[in-house]
Chain A
Amino acid sequence: MAAGEARTRHVARSLLGRALPVVGVAIAVSLFEFASRSGLVDARFLPPASSMLGSLVDQVADGSIWQPVGQTLQGWALGLGLAMAIALPLGTLIGSVFLLFMATRSIVEFLRPVPSVALIPLAVLLFGAGLESKIFLATFAATWPILLQTLYGVRDVDPVAMETARSFGIKAPQRLRRVVLPSALPYIATGVRISSAVALILSVTAELVLGAPGLGQEINIARQSGAVELMYGLIIATGLIGWGLNVLVALVERRLLHWHPSQRERT
């Protein structure tokens, strides 16, 4: 009896868990729709959600959205990939060597808050106004979260585990692979998830400002043409892509960390 009741309660809760996000989205969209339909905001300048989504659907239907989406994703993938290639080894190195950690701390803390957008003139100077600049900006911004997370993840390794490995005579490369990295991986995964969003934001920004082809450029053209619904439709598209990428990265994270307590609790 008691077991059956508990199971029912469990099922009810998991159903609720699945339904709540949908309910949340539905409420947000309806509020959005209501705000402009009721005249709370001027519908000419902030059209109701349904017309923005309608214009997005038109773009999907006639296929014109896919090329800019691909160009934006290209900037995201190359930016995030390069950021990982730079930040993972660098973070591991700085995190492992205490002197290096102390020596680079102020440099990292100085460079980290520099807004990537402020580097646009520098990017144009070094790489021109095309894809290279977009990747430079995305990489610059996406490097810091991964670098810091890796660095602190590596530094946060349980000293007892390290000492134990040492006293068993396990060599440094093996210790890195079997003790340090598994322990730092949850930190790194969080860094990558943050950087994924950052890389997308910077790709779109570079397209908006530099005219590199992609969703940002399409948004700019729509804005300067007074095509308000299309502009918001494209902005929604960037949000949807960000959301989709986050789901994707979280999925990879769960795969990689299936053994970790934080992931076991979730399932």
Chain B
Amino acid sequence: MRFHPILDRARPVAAVVAVAAVAVAGCGDGDDADSEGGGELVTINIGTLPIANASPMYLGMEEGFFEEEGLEIEPTVLQGGNEIITGLVSGDYDFGFVGYISAGVALSQDVPVCVVTSSDATGTTPEDDWQVLVAGPDNGIESPQDLAGTTLGINALGGVAEVMIKAALDADGVDPNSVELIEVPFPEVPAAVAEGRIDAGYTSEPFVTTVLDQGGEVVYAPQSELAPEYPNGSYAASEQFIAENGDVVERFARAMNRSLDYARENEDAVRSIIPSFTEIDPEVAERMRLPVYTSELDEQAIDEQMGFLEQYDIVEAAAPTADELICG
């Protein structure tokens, strides 16, 4: 029997969320975002995570890109993508930072969300990729083939980590079912590999730098193994919000894309803004690996990722196409 705690957990949530959407739609609850007074800023609520991927939004706020579009950003910092998706559909957040994989899983369960803009992509090589498999020193993993038979820690079963690791192993000719996957949250990976509780663990920054600092290594970079700058994060919204707030959505997309381009071109600004909305040590923020910010929606790569959802039995129903996933 395959074990899918996250999916099992996600299903009732998805059901509740779907009911919520109907309930909210039934009430015809007018959102404050559609009331636009003369020269007054429209406040939009954003569900986000305390990670470097959120930098462009904070930079855009600082540089006034959102203000120029008449928008004021009110961020809420959450723990994970599932809560953000729930909050999008319940109407707590107008937009949320959501991975393509999470958005695709949600949509396949009829949770009405769609992707508004891109946010970030992975790196190009194991040397610069920021969400990778790490291991302690003397790990004996020299090639993808060495991963067969290992126990790997991933943040959530049935999520982006499982999809990408299996797809990359497949591409490298390793049986994707030859690895054992167990759940280890990103922040706990450095301790887990240091103590040898897992052979390697999938984690993100600043924990990749933590592991490198303690003498560990990056042993596998699944996403950049599949393709350089492989799509990772996006800003999504509920379909109801999109339908009712077309103008705000357009303005948000313009300002966000501008923020993403600005972040891509101004690495120093990104590094210096990270400690302002996280507790990451400024010294670490100066040298850690950064997400590749991009305003481009790579439909072909997103389509490929949605295909993985079905191929590796992550979703039970049909996965959406990139066209269905992207709003409008």
Contacts and interface: CB of A to CB of B under 8 A. Distances in A.
24 contacts: A42-B191, A42-B195, A44-B190, A45-B190, A45-B191, A45-B194, A124-B20, A124-B86, A124-B92, A125-B19, A128-B87, A129-B86, A129-B90, A129-B92, A211-B78, A211-B79, A221-B50, A223-B187, A224-B51, A224-B79, A224-B278, A225-B279, A226-B187, A226-B280
B281 A129 contact: no
Interface residues of B, number: 37
Interface string A40-66: 001011000000000000000000000
Interface residues of A, number: 24
Interface string B14-49: 001101100100000000000000000000000101
Interface in A199-233: 208-211, 217, 220-227, 230
Contacts of B90: 124-125, 128-129
Given A121-B16, A128-B91, A222 B279 contact: yes
Given A225-B278, A226-B187, A129 B76 contact: yes
B50 A121 contact: no
Contacts of A225: 50, 206, 278-280
Given A222-B279, A224-B50, A224-B186, A125 B77 contact: no
Contact of A221 (B186, B207, B278): B278
A69 to B, nearest CB: 17
Most A CB atoms within 10 A — which of B91, B191, B194? Answer: B191
Contacts of B77: 211, 217, 220-221
Most B CB atoms within 10 A — which of A125, A128, A217, A224? Answer: A224
Contacts of A208: 79
Interface of A: 42, 44-45, 121-122, 124-125, 128-130, 208-211, 217, 220-227, 230
B83 interface: yes
Contacts of A125: 16-17, 19-20, 23, 90
